Amino acid sequence: MAAVISDNDNILDGTNGEEGPSKSEVVAETIRRNEMSSSVSALRANPKYSDFLILCGSHIFLAHKAIVCSQSDFFAKVFDSHFSEACTGRIRLSDHPLVVLLLLDYLYSSDYTFYLDYDFHTSFLAEGQSPPGDLVEL
């Protein structure tokens, strides 16, 4: 026997027959998410609540474990371990400072600027090299 499905059934929308959120509820939730995203992004520029440092060459980046470790297994493992970084709150990376900057920008804003916007030569990719430090002022 085949099931009879009427136009009123909400099988595909995931509501199981329940009324979905109103337009004003969707708008309010969207505004709240945008505010939350802006608040997290603003943390990046404010050192007040940062709780660890990323040392990269001569650059020091302030960061927040709650933001970074919750999105990066690498950082989570470092700070959940008995490594000295977990005790000192400092981690030294050998990556190019621009790479670290872009990583942090992404983790805090869910967005990033692609490196070609910095006019790096594509030959660096082919050679497997990082862009030279003198191309970027951080």
Token digits for 126?
Answer: 């082919």
With pLDDT > 90 as the criterion, what percentage of the chain qualifies?
24
100 domain-assigned: yes
Has residue 125 been placed in a domain? yes
Q: Out of 19-23, 38-42, 77-81, 128-132, pick the least confident.
A: 128-132
Helix (H) or strand (E) holding 91: strand 90-92
Any idea what the CATH number is for the domain that residue 102 is in?
3.30.710.10
> Per-residue pLDDT tens for 68-125?
999 999 999 999 988 898 889 999 998 888 888 889 988 988 877 665 555 555 555 5
| Per-residue tokens: 78 | 């470092």
Identify whether the C-beta of residue 56 lies closer than 8 Å to the C-beta of residue 46: no
29 in any annotated domain: no
Structural domain contains residue 2: no
Q: Which of 5-19, 52-66, 103-117 has the lowest mean pLDDT?
A: 5-19
* Boundaries of domain holding 80: 48-135
- Is 79 inside a domain boundary? yes
In-domain check, residue 40: no
The answer as to whether 98 is a domain residue is yes
Domain count for the chain, please give it. 1
**Mean pLDDT within 53-73:** 92
